[in-house]
Amino acid sequence: GAVVSQHPSWVICKSGTSVKIECRSLDFQATTMFWYRQFPKQSLMLMATSNEGSKATYEQGVEKDKFLINHASLTLSTLTVTSAHPEDSSFYICSARDLAGGADTQYFGPGTRLTVL
C-alpha cells in the first residue's frame, strides 16, 4: 500500500511559538492532501484540504491565519501552527489522496503529537 510519512512524530513547544509539521507521500504523487485533528477518544476532524499549487480550503471554524498550509509539491504538504497555545495541543494527522489506477483512496500518515506548554 501507499506510504505517507509525517515529521516530527511528536513535538513540545512553548506557548507563543510556531511549529511546522511535514506530510510526505513517499511512493505516489498527491495533488490533494488533508489535515485532520484528533482529540483523545474522538474521531478525526477535518481541518483543511491542501491543494498542490493553490490555496488550501479550510473547514468552518478553523482559523486559516493560525493554521498555515503550504502544498508546494506533489509529495509534500506542510502545516504550520502559528503562535501556538495550550488549547492547540492535539494529535495532528495528514492524509494524501491517491488517484492512481482509477481508485480514490486516502492514505494516512502516522500523526504528530503536539504539546504546547
Partner 1 sequence: EDQVTQSPEALRLQEGESSSLNCSYTVSGLRGLFWYRQDPGKGPEFLFTLYSAGEEKEKERLKATLTKKESFLHITAPKPEDSATYLCAVQAAGANNLFFGTGTRLTVIP
Binding stretches for partner 1 (CB under 8 A):
1, 4, 6, 32, 34, 42-44, 46, 49, 91, 93, 95, 97, 103-111, 113
- Is the Cβ of residue 42 or residue 83 nearer to partner 1 in the bound state? 42
> Residue 52 corresponds to which cell in the numbers above?
498542490
47, amino acid identity: M
Q: How far apart are CA 104 and CA 2, in angstroms?
A: 12
DSSP class per residue in 42-101: ---EEEEEEETTS--EEPTT--TTTEEEEEEETTEEEEEE-S--GGG-EEEEEEEEE-GG
> Residue 36 corresponds to which cell in the numbers above?
485532520
Sequence length of the chain is 117
CB of 16 to partner 1, least distance (A): 27
CB of 34 to partner 1, least distance (A): 6
- Is the Cβ of residue 49 or residue 70 nearer to partner 1 in the bound state? 49
- Is the Cβ of residue 49 or residue 115 nearer to partner 1 in the bound state? 49
CB of 65 to partner 1, least distance (A): 21
CB of 87 to partner 1, least distance (A): 20
73, amino acid identity: S
- Is the Cβ of residue 75 or residue 109 nearer to partner 1 in the bound state? 109
